[in-house]
Amino acid sequence: MKLHPLHDRVIIKRLESETKTAGGIVIPDTAKEKPMKGEVIAVGKGRTLDSGQIVAPTVKVGDKVLIGKYSGSEFKIDDVEYVAVKEDEIIAIVGGK
């Protein structure tokens, strides 16, 4: 499957959240929150400025990132959930330089 996001869009696959708390309590599926951490699957060409210049994206495929809980548009392909966000909705790159 190939995804080619347009402009400054980024496709992220959410990473699974922990099923146990630090104290060892198991969290049931119904009480789990959407994970805020994900892996970048595809990146668009970049944001176009009013002058026509294209600003290259900061993130790249394979980066682990943090996004807001309610950011972007969710969709599912082949039973895998993804979220499409604008690059400016990404909070941070995890483990980056």
In a domain, 41, yes or no: yes
Q: Work out how many domains the chain is built from and give that number.
A: 1
- Read off the CATH number of the domain in which 85 is found: 2.30.33.40
pLDDT digits 0-9 by tens, 43-65: 999 998 999 899 999 999 999 99
Complete DSSP assignment for 10-73: EEEEEPPPPSB-TT-PBPPGGGPPPPSEEEEEEE-S-EEPTTSPEEPPS--TT-EEEE-TT-SE
In a domain, 38, yes or no: yes
In a domain, 49, yes or no: yes
pLDDT of residue 85: 95
pLDDT of residue 1: 60
In a domain, 1, yes or no: no
In a domain, 14, yes or no: yes
In a domain, 3, yes or no: no
What domain range is 38 assigned to?
9-94
pLDDT of residue 2: 81
pLDDT of residue 28: 59
In a domain, 4, yes or no: no
Q: Which stretches of the chain score pLDDT less than 50?
A: 31
